[in-house]
Amino acid sequence: MNTVSDNVHIEKVLSGDKEAFRYLIKAYQSMAYSIAISMVKNEFSANDVVQNSFIRAYKALRSYRSDAKFSTWLYKIVVNESLKLLKKNKRSQEFITYMDDPFDYSTSFNQAIKSFELKDKKTQINKIMNLMKPKEALILKLYYLHEESIAQIEKITGFTTSNIKVLLHRARKSFLALSIKHNTY
């Protein structure tokens, strides 16, 4: 559920206090950006997505129902905006997936992770996430980084439960394989 502060600020915005919306931006822009960047793979586009999403959220705030989490509602807008941008741009970049690879990378990954400490993790992980398919990267982040349940991911993305499970399986495999194959730790 929403925090009391969320509800208070939403009510304020609805009654005409535009400045109260700043609180919601501050509270959720980081996560919104995280979702956007995992899909559009470009920081400028991700910033555009975040900006458009908040403006859309502001315009549609009256249609938001307080029985749902504000964050879930907002992230759904971010996902839709990201998908819209991806569709519009039709990126020429090819993404890598290991869905047909039968090899189990878990053991190699768990051994290699010890050496991860010595390198610039953030750069390496960004590289891996950029190589992953947008939907796979999104599901991976939502599940592992933001610790969202499958049910919550379903609400945020609009994908079916079975689709999410398949994407999560593929994303996990791609992440492990890319960590081993496309990085020099």
Partner 1 sequence: MNKTDQNIQNLLVESYKKQPVDSQIEDQIMETISTQKNYGLLLKKARQKAKIGLLVSLILLVIYFVKIYTDLTTPIRYKEPELRAFYPSIFTVIVVCAIYFEMIFGAKLLKK
73 binds partner 1 (CB under 8 A): no
Answer yes or no whether residue 113 interacts with partner 1 by CB under 8 A: yes
Per-residue exposure over 107-116, b if at least 16 CB sit within 10 Å of its own CB, e if not: eebeeeeeee
Q: Which is nearer to partner 1, 92 or 134 (CB)?
A: 134
Residues 2-31 that bind partner 1 (CB under 8 A): 14-16, 18-19, 21-22, 25-26, 29-31
Residue 66 touches partner 1, criterion: CB under 8 A: no
Cβ atoms 32, 10 nearer than 8 A: no
Instruction: Give helix 161-181 / helix 121-131 axis angle, nearest 10°.
Output: 130
Q: Are 9 and 24 in contact (CB under 8 A)?
A: yes
Cα angle, residue 94 at apex, residues 90 and 99 outer, rounded to 5°: 115
Binding-site size, partner 1 (CB under 8 A): 43
Q: Which of 72, 86, 96, 116 binds partner 1 (CB under 8 A)?
A: 116
Residue type (1 letter), 113: I
User: Shortest approach of partner 1 to residue 169 CB, angstroms?
Assistant: 12
If binding is defined by CB under 8 A, does position 62 make contact with partner 1?
yes
122 binds partner 1 (CB under 8 A): yes
Which strand (E) or helix (H) includes residue 161?
helix 161-181
Sign of the CA dihedral 160, 166, 172, 175? negative
* Site for partner 1, rule CB under 8 A: 14-16, 18-19, 21-22, 25-26, 29-31, 33-34, 37, 43, 47, 50-51, 54-55, 58-59, 61-62, 106, 109-110, 113, 116, 121-122, 124-126, 140-141, 144-145, 147, 172, 175-176
